[in-house]
Structure 1
Amino acid sequence: MTTGAVDAARNILTGLHEVMASRQNAQAKLNTVVEVIGESLHSEVCSIYLLREGMLELFATRGLAQEAVHVTRLAIGEGLVGTIAERSETLNLAEAAAHPDFSYRPETGEEKFHSFAGVPIVRRERAVGVLGVQHVERRRYEEVEIEALQTVAMVLSELITNADLIDEEDARLLGAGSNAPEQLQGLTLVKGLASGVAVYHQPRVQIEHVVAEDTEAERQRVILAFDKMREQIDRMASQAEFGVGGEHEEVLETYRMFAYDEGWTRRINEAIDSGLTAEAAIERVQQRTRMRMRQIDDPLLADRMHDLEDLANRLLRIVSGQLGTAASMGLRNDAILIARNLGPAELLEYDRRRLKGVILEEGSLTSHVVIVARAMGIPVLGRVRGLRGYVREGDPLLLDAGQATVMVRPSPGVIEAFEARFARNREKQAAYAAMRDVRPTTRDGKRIMVRINAGLRDDIANLNLTGADGIGLFRTEFQFLVSATLPARDRQTRLYRDVLDAAGDKPVVFRTVDIGGDKTLPYLRHDDGQGEDNPAMGWRALRVALEREGLLKVQARALLEAAAGRQLNVMFPLVAEPWEFDQAKAIFDGQLAFLRQQKKQLPEAIRYGVMLEVPALAEQLDVLAPRISFLSIGTNDLTQFLFAADRSNPKLAERYDWLSPAILRFIRRVVTTLDGSGVEIGVCGEMGGRRLEALALLGIGIEKLSITPASVGRIKDLIGKVDLGEVKAAMDGWLAQPPLDMRAAMTAWAIERGIIGD
């Protein structure tokens, strides 16, 4: 907040303090308020619209026709005022009539006024009104004026609430909800089923007083709150459930960075200087952060802003004395957590025995909390719009994150059907868990290797839980994604050594870091600083590592040191041509020579491999084969590259089937090309974890799968029912003359033989 904004806001708040303390009725107070604001900002018009009976009603004005008061009404989303309320956003226009949402109301006499600025009056995170100013001259309002209006809007929210100017209908619009069942849609962030009662992560801190009596006393309250918050973050770091040096600790480093940010502290103090209480000042700065978040396209920066909001909420609870989140107060029943967004540190505070799922109003696939939730095995549904308007604390919820839906206040029939499905799912999982010690072997005696994908230290426990044959893909980038800075070599070494120790005699394949593209890092930017139109096919993975050679050198050294005295399996991602593999291996060779010179213990053996995701590599496998020990087909990226279809695009995600003859013929050609070369070949990706798709892969010669831990049991079960010779013969026929619907043909064939259920 600028000095001018501070002075303007202070002048207005001084006047409003006197108005609020007076014995006037609510209408008289509002009439006085618009005069105070108009005079302080030298504004020809100042108007207040409030939400009444679902409409925005002109309650008080200076400058517009007085006969329009309580007559002019706008629906949410109608006109400039309705647009501000609907979006909870500020408008600042030099020519109001030029805006596409402008709606002329002749009774107000506003036709002579050209410029317009309006801010939402927010209560419980919903707009309950709009404060607007207008001038005859065409001009955009200065930032100082907008900031003053936004500060005053907070005070008006308190006045409106205390004067009971919001009726029961408005309370319903603010989220009181009804008893009717609702089905809400969202975005799948972590798959899974869950049932429980709705628990709000942060019981809303109600700010009782907005205008400060003693500015210096408010400043001291904030200083003490900052000290306490920083102590909490440090304590969480030392008690991190993922262990010392784990990803959780690195996420908290980002929190520390924000917690000690002087800019954030300064903005809160400036808001206090304008005359706000400590609570109101924090909320004021937080509101501005939310508005900026809506304008951020970069998903990584948006996630960082969510981390800041997480800390702001923590600070607000401390300064107000309302310290309890749902986590600190304890979960009494099976619960599904509700939040606008959630920081990973706060997720880890919850009792895992009671926390069954998470639903977010926002959230993204790349956010920190998703990485941690996946490791905890908690289903997460994100992007559920209007969530707080439909769900009340304690409402029963049925969450199907896999289908991207949540049922709110379900009917008895829906509950019964869900519980039956849930029970079947548990029975299947129990049956699959019982297969932990089963070695996956086909009916005709062929041993199939089933390994798991991992990315967090905690994932390694799934090796024993599933009885998998090893880790076919350890995603090293998770450690980079949750860190505020490039992870130091000793930290990387510690993680890799811990993974190898936990895996014991089972193999682990470490994929070198796959960052860039849509997995951007604040400390590793492209030279031009611009976003990419097609990040999946852009500056990412091995391309980044070869250009920023120091990054790969550090990782190579960490992997070589961690694997001292044992076998190291290294896999390079997104290799398009053999020379890229050669350059990457040369970096490892250089670090190996250095360690040998330093008389350090070396790995007893090093096996190098590549991920085949780029179709071009398939045309040079004969050149590459003599240089590698293994090859893993990354079906997720390969599919989108073959079909030129971005799988993150909802319109295309399900358009191209993994059982398409194009995919299966391509993979079979790779298998045939490498036949007899001595190169181990496998499939890594979601395709291998689906029963029908896994059946197809077996039929075209794939004998090594690396899949999610949750899929291991069902794929072992499938393998035990398959006659490999029979399915290979069937696949040869289907691929020679593809049926119109490969999936339907395979399904009927598999049901007939009892391989999958009908």
Structure 2
Amino acid sequence: MNAERNVSATSAAREILRRLHDVMATKAGAQAKLNRVVDIVAGALSSEVCSVYLLRDGVLELFATRGLAQSAVHVTRLAVGEGLVGTIAKTREALNLAEAKAHPDFAYKPETGEESFHSFAGVPIIRQETAIGVLAVQHVDPREYADIEIEALQTTAMVLAELIASAGLVDDQTVQQARERESRPARMTGLKLVEGVGRGQAVFHQPRVIVEHTVADDIEAERARVYAAFQMMREQIDNMMGQADFAAPGDHDEILETYKMFAYDEGWSRRINEAIDTGLTAEAAIERVQMKTRTRMRATKDPFFQERLHDLDDLSNRLLRIVSGQMDTAAKRGLQQDMILIARNLGPAELLEYDKRFLRGVVLEEGSLTAHVTIIARAMGIPVLGRVKDLRTTIFEGDPLLLDAQRGALFVRPSEPVVHQFEEQVALKARRQAEYAKLRDLPAETVDGARITLMMNAGLSSDLEALDITNADGIGLFRTEFQFLVSATLPRRERQTRLYKSVLDAAGDRPVTFRTVDIGGDKAVPYMMGDTVEENPALGWRALRLALEREGLMKVQARALIDAAAGRTLRLMFPMVSEPWEFDEARALVEAQLSRMVARGHPVPKKIEFGCMLEVPALAESLDLLLPRLDFLSVGTNDLTQFLFAADRANPKLADRYDWLSVSLLRFLKRVSDQARAARRPVTVCGEMGGRPLDALALLGIGIERLSITPAGIGPMKAMIRSLALAPLQHEMEGWLRRGINIRTALTEYASSRGIAAG
């Protein structure tokens, strides 16, 4: 039945376009044309009702209808956001409802006589990225419209936008007035993707291409235009790949290779050609396929697939600009002022086009922590805020913006007090950074002479320059999984070897601890995980559990690490060890690869040191068995804490139950630290806890003397350490933990009264 409806709807879409072409060619007035349009659409989709609402004087006015009361035309009005029609105009998203009255935004207008209709579908009519109207259909029987029918409505809405603009029914002044109503100061929130702050003018990455002509006169000519545009786009992508400027090869190469794969995707070009076959121009066909892609993006739950579709969306925009001759993005205009770049989403290659001297931040309507553009932006040191809703309806080109990605906030057209506060915040940060820079060559040593080891966490080639900038004691945690996460396929051994060798070369004589691949859970890799769905992924098939089962993965990584560390010391750490036998199996696997390479005459490390991550609380109960087999122990406080408290660290409702300064956690860590010290095994804390001065103060107080933190945290941490007398703090901590008092309050007061820089 659905297949029959799809075939019928496909035929209807072609018929609608053919007949709309005839309507556009007539010399009838605009009202007469709209009246004819609603007749055509209602008949083609077998709907009892088809209506067009247009934006007039700030409200949506019923302009033409077939099926509703004719007396309601030019009488029924809805505010933007009111009713189903107003909701479509506000969100600029389609609605498809089997029972309209069940929707929370339904608003009944008695003069229309629509009480007998159940189903409802509507799409926005877009002009200059502003909803200037709504096209809607209704049906007596409750049913959802097929996807192909919604596409037919979207195509019709594209044609209507052209008709409405040419007839002057909604002029540019009306669009501008709609924008001005939203021009007051605003504070928008989103997801911190790359930390940092920035100030500049709003610059839209790509002003939306206005598709002026939607109905094709010559289908073969349109097909030829698309073919030529594909050729030009592919040449551009090839050139960009040769111009990417990064510190070292590795992660970024694979991102751009995936991007190139989509540029050469034959399925994509075939879908555009099929849209042209229905009678659309090249521009309209690209936009129609892009709309369908965005619908799929919103529907899919697979984050990996979403990011690949984001790349395809980016390429669609590029192709549309080429075929329309509107090829300039903001990057091509040679902007010479500080700017905050605004985009729905951004492809990695497009970000590379911008002059880093003027790019102060990026704000995305979509985006995620694992998106390709996020990884590239982090490498470039550009703050990024993602998941910010209603960007196009709230921000206009040239608006002053303040971006505070640290707090997940964007201030639009900020008031003077907000600007003043922001300037003070930036000035204070600059003063602090200058003070931290003075400490670069000084040891992380307490007032009473205790030397604390301060290392940095890393995971990208671009992180390595921070070693010299911060003068860190080494890399206490190198997350090898990043290379796996940004790749569309399993990274080859040679590529892994190049990355690991570049890390060791950058570190020189300083130690580097490589954590073997930690994927699974919230770091899903489709080419490894397949369609696996886990109810509790953080507690599931991940990290060492996955690697031991897929031992081919670990064997390849072991050989790459051994090869990269030839003639040097290799420090290996296994993640999420639950019991000693898991560590034994992992170590035996690595040692077998070492023996294999020695037998074949390959150069090997002069020494391999083995350690593990303590993240699973159960491991603490068998440390007496495990410590003699280890060279070192690392504590991952992020996972350890959520496992100890049975509190998901990503759940805001549990934020007050996820406290690193709780007596329970500190007592646990102190037992681990004391036991490792007795066994003469060094303990390093690698989680976020060690990068927060007050929390790190507690770690020092219980005997932890090795921290591995983000590069940005090394300056503040060194300042705290050099203002501290360690022995008195450790004495106080003993008493606090014994009495079970509020450690956070006690530490805050202690630091304040003794001038310890823990703020």
The TM-score normalised by the length of structure 1 is 0.95
Are the aligned partners of 1:6 and 1:273 in contact in 2 as well (CA < 8 Å)? Answer: no
User: Once the two structures are aligned, what percentage of the paired residues are identical?
Assistant: 63
Report how far residue 138 of structure 1 moved: 4.9
Report how far residue 186 of structure 1 moved: 1.8
- The ranges of structure 1 where at least 4 consecutive aligned residues each deviate by more than 6 angstroms after the TM superposition are none
Deviation per CA, 1:269-288: give whole Å up to 9, x if none. 11111111111111111111
Aligned to 1:374: 378
Gaps of 5+ in 1: none
Aligned to 2:744: 743
Pick closer, same or farther for the CA change 1:381–1:654 going to 2, 3 Å: farther
Equivalent residue runs for 1:122-271 within 5 Å? 122-166=126-170, 171=175, 175-176=179-180, 178-242=182-246, 245-271=249-275
Match of 1:708 among 707, 710, 713: 710
For 2:717 and 2:265, how far apart are their aligned partners in 1? 49
For 2:347 and 2:366, how far apart are their aligned partners in 1? 12
Pick closer, same or farther for the CA change 1:386–1:425 going to 2, 3 Å: same
Aligned to 1:283: 287
Are the aligned partners of 1:438 and 1:467 in contact in 2 as well (CA < 8 Å)? Answer: no
Deviation per CA, 1:90-141: give whole Å up to 9, x if none. 3444554555554443322334444433333233445433222234445444
Aligned to 1:336: 340
For 2:421 and 2:131, how far apart are their aligned partners in 1? 38
Aligned to 1:350: 354
* Aligned-partner residue type, residue 329 of structure 2: T
Are the aligned partners of 1:199 and 1:394 in contact in 2 as well (CA < 8 Å)? Answer: yes
Equivalent residue runs for 1:399-478 within 5 Å? 399-478=403-482
For 1:152 and 1:590, how far apart are their aligned partners in 2? 66
* Aligned-partner residue type, residue 156 of structure 1: L
Aligned to 2:69: 65
Report how far residue 13 of structure 1 moved: 1.7
Match of 1:389 among 385, 388, 393: 393
Question: Which segment is superposed worse, 226-235 or 5-14?
Answer: 5-14
Report how far residue 441 of structure 1 moved: 1.2
Aligned to 1:564: 566
Question: Which segment is superposed worse, 99-108 or 616-625?
Answer: 99-108
Report how far residue 437 of structure 1 moved: 1.4
For 1:350 and 1:544, how far apart are their aligned partners in 2? 40
For 1:408 and 1:156, how far apart are their aligned partners in 2? 32
Equivalent residue runs for 1:607-626 within 5 Å? 607-626=609-628
Are the aligned partners of 2:400 and 2:412 in contact in 1 as well (CA < 8 Å)? Answer: yes
Aligned to 2:679: 677
Deviation per CA, 1:179-208: give whole Å up to 9, x if none. 532222222222222111111111222222
Determine helix, strand or coil for the equivalent of 1:510: strand
For 1:179 and 1:109, how far apart are their aligned partners in 2? 37
Determine helix, strand or coil for the equivalent of 1:392: coil
Aligned to 1:593: 595
For 1:135 and 1:579, how far apart are their aligned partners in 2? 65
Aligned to 1:754: 755
Aligned to 2:296: 292
Match of 1:663 among 662, 665, 671: 665
1:34 matches 2:38: yes
Report how far residue 392 of structure 1 moved: 1.7
Determine helix, strand or coil for the equivalent of 1:472: strand
Pick closer, same or farther for the CA change 1:140–1:464 going to 2, 3 Å: closer
Report how far residue 729 of structure 1 moved: 0.8
Determine helix, strand or coil for the equivalent of 1:318: helix
Pick closer, same or farther for the CA change 1:501–1:560 going to 2, 3 Å: same
Pick closer, same or farther for the CA change 1:138–1:333 going to 2, 3 Å: closer
* Aligned-partner residue type, residue 236 of structure 2: Q
Pick closer, same or farther for the CA change 1:422–1:36 going to 2, 3 Å: same
Determine helix, strand or coil for the equivalent of 1:670: helix
Aligned to 2:636: 634
Pick closer, same or farther for the CA change 1:194–1:90 going to 2, 3 Å: closer
Deviation per CA, 1:495-553: give whole Å up to 9, x if none. 11111111111111111111111111221225xx2433332222221122122221111
Report how far residue 235 of structure 1 moved: 1.9
Aligned to 2:85: 81
Are the aligned partners of 1:53 and 1:169 in contact in 2 as well (CA < 8 Å)? Answer: no
For 1:384 and 1:397, how far apart are their aligned partners in 2? 14
Question: Which segment is superposed worse, 190-199 or 84-93?
Answer: 84-93
Question: Which segment is superposed worse, 647-656 or 702-711?
Answer: 647-656
Report how far residue 443 of structure 1 moved: 1.4
For 2:334 and 2:732, how far apart are their aligned partners in 1? 56
Pick closer, same or farther for the CA change 1:572–1:391 going to 2, 3 Å: same
Aligned to 1:726: 728
Are the aligned partners of 2:645 and 2:657 in contact in 1 as well (CA < 8 Å)? Answer: no
Report how far residue 557 of structure 1 moved: 1.0
Pick closer, same or farther for the CA change 1:99–1:530 going to 2, 3 Å: farther
Report how far residue 656 of structure 1 moved: 2.5
Pick closer, same or farther for the CA change 1:286–1:653 going to 2, 3 Å: farther
For 1:197 and 1:484, how far apart are their aligned partners in 2? 36
Report how far residue 465 of structure 1 moved: 0.4
For 2:612 and 2:424, how far apart are their aligned partners in 1? 44
For 1:219 and 1:244, how far apart are their aligned partners in 2? 41
Deviation per CA, 1:344-374: give whole Å up to 9, x if none. 2322222222111111122222322222222
CA root-mean-square deviation: 2.2
Are the aligned partners of 1:174 and 1:389 in contact in 2 as well (CA < 8 Å)? Answer: no
Are the aligned partners of 1:176 and 1:389 in contact in 2 as well (CA < 8 Å)? Answer: no
Report how far residue 177 of structure 1 moved: 5.8
Pick closer, same or farther for the CA change 1:696–1:136 going to 2, 3 Å: closer
Q: How many residues align?
A: 755
* Aligned-partner residue type, residue 32 of structure 1: R
Question: Which segment is superposed worse, 691-700 or 253-262?
Answer: 253-262
Determine helix, strand or coil for the equivalent of 1:524: helix
Match of 2:688 among 677, 680, 686: 686
Aligned to 2:483: 479
Report how far residue 3 of structure 1 moved: 6.8
Gaps of 5+ in 2: none
Pick closer, same or farther for the CA change 1:126–1:579 going to 2, 3 Å: farther
Deviation per CA, 1:224-283: give whole Å up to 9, x if none. 111222222222222222267421110112112221222211111111111111111111
For 1:345 and 1:639, how far apart are their aligned partners in 2? 38
1:500 matches 2:504: yes
1:310 matches 2:280: no
Aligned to 1:323: 327
The TM-score normalised by the length of structure 2 is 0.95
Question: Which segment is superposed worse, 462-471 or 301-310?
Answer: 301-310
* Aligned-partner residue type, residue 413 of structure 1: P
1:398 matches 2:402: yes
Match of 2:533 among 531, 534, 537: 531
For 1:689 and 1:99, how far apart are their aligned partners in 2? 47
* Aligned-partner residue type, residue 193 of structure 1: V
Are the aligned partners of 2:694 and 2:758 in contact in 1 as well (CA < 8 Å)? Answer: no
Are the aligned partners of 1:53 and 1:167 in contact in 2 as well (CA < 8 Å)? Answer: no
For 1:50 and 1:359, how far apart are their aligned partners in 2? 31
For 1:172 and 1:531, how far apart are their aligned partners in 2? 47
For 1:650 and 1:122, how far apart are their aligned partners in 2? 37
For 2:597 and 2:417, how far apart are their aligned partners in 1? 66
